[in-house]
Structure 1
Amino acid sequence: MTEVLTKRKTLLEARDLHVQFASRGRKARAVDGVNLAVGEGEIVALVGESGCGKTTLARTLLGLERPTSGQVLYGGAGLDYGSRALKAYRREVQLVLQDPTGSLNPRHTVYEAVAEGPRIHGLANEEEIVRDALSRAGLRPPERFFLRYPHELSGGQRQRVVIAGALALAPRLLVADEPVASLDASVRGEILALLLRLREELGLSALVVTHDLGLAWNIADRVAVMYLGRIVESGPVEQVLTAPRHPYTQALLSVLPESPEPVVLTGEPPDPTRVPGGCRFHPRCQVLGVGRAAEVGVDGKCKGEPLAVLPAVPEPQVACHYAAATGS
Structure 2
Amino acid sequence: MTSTPTTRNPPTSTASSLLSVEGLRVAFPGRRGAPAARAVDGVDLDIGRGEIVALVGESGCGKTTLARCLLGLVPPTAGRVTFDGAPLPRSARALKAYRRRAQLVLQDPSGSLNPRHTVYDVVAEGLRIHGHAGDERTAVAEALSRAGLRPPERFFLRYPHELSGGQRQRVVIAGALVLEPELLVADEPVASLDASVRGEILALLLRLRTELGLSALVVTHDLGLAWNIADRVAVMYLGRIVETGAVEQVLTAPRHPYTQALLSVLPEAPGAPVVLSGEPPDPSHVTAGCRFHVRCQILAGGEAERAGVADACRHRELEILRGGDAAQVACHWARAEQPAAGTGDAAVGRRPN
TM-score (ref. length: structure 2)? 0.91
- Per-residue Cα deviation, 1:6-42 (whole angstroms, up to 9, x for no partner): 2871001111000000123221000000000101000
Coordinate RMSD, CA, aligned: 1.2
Which of the numbers 138, 147, 162 marks the counterpart of 1:128? 138
Contact 2:14 2:324 in 1 (8 A): no
- Match for residue 55 of structure 2 among 46, 49, 53: 46
Number of matched pairs: 328
- Aligned counterpart for 1:23 among listed residues 15, 24, 30: 30
* Structure-to-structure mapping, 1:221-232, within 5 angstroms: 221-232=231-242
Cα shift readout 1:74-132 (whole Å, capped 9, x = no counterpart): 01111111111100100100000000000100000000000000011111210000000
Amino acid across the alignment from 2:290:
C
1:257 partner SS: coil
1:216 paired residue number: 226
Aligned match of 2:347: none
Is residue 313 of structure 1 aligned with residue 324 of structure 2? yes
> 1:242 and 2:249 equivalent?
no
| Residue equivalent to 2:281 | 270
* CA distance in 1 between partners of 2:239 and 2:154 (Å): 45
Instruction: Give the secondary structure class of the aligned counterpart of 2:279.
Output: coil
Q: How far does the alpha carbon of each residue in 1:43-69 deviate from its partner, in whole angstroms, 9 at most, with x for none?
A: 000000000000000000000011100
Corresponding residue number in structure 2 for 1:168: 178
The residue that corresponds to 2:338 in the other structure is 327
Extract unaligned runs of 5+ from structure 2.
1-7, 340-353
Are 2:11 and 2:246, in contact at CA under 8 Å, matched by a contact in 1? no
> Residue by residue, what CA displacement relative to the aligned partner does 1:184-239 show, whole Å, maximum 9, x if unpaired?
00000000000000000000000000000000000000000000000000000000
Aligned-partner SS, 2:36 = strand
Match of 1:87 among 73, 96, 99: 96
Letter in 1 for 2:44: N
The answer for the alignment partner of 2:301 in structure 1 is 290
Matched, 1:155 2:165: yes
- The Cα offsets for residues 279-323 of structure 1, whole Å up to 9 and x where unpaired, read as 000000000000000001100000000001000020111000001
SS of corresponding position for 1:218 = helix
- Aligned letter for 1:242? T
User: What's the secondary structure of 1:235's corresponding residue?
Assistant: strand
- Contact 1:221 1:236 (C-alpha < 8 Å) held by counterparts: yes
Say which of 176, 199, 206 aligns to 1:189.
199
Aligned to 1:31, the other structure's residue is in SS state: strand
Q: Cα–Cα, structure 1 residues 7 and 20, in superposed 2: closer, same or farther, change >3 Å?
A: closer
Cα offset for 1:274? 1.1
State the AA in 2 paired with 1:62: L
Tell me which of 235, 252, 257 is aligned to 2:267.
257
Percent of residue pairs identical: 72
User: In 2, Cα distance between the equivalents of 1:7 and 1:74?
Assistant: 12
TM-score relative to the length of structure 1: 0.98
Q: SS in structure 2 opposite 1:64?
A: coil
Residues in 1 aligned to 2:241 and 2:65: alpha-carbon distance in whole angstroms: 13
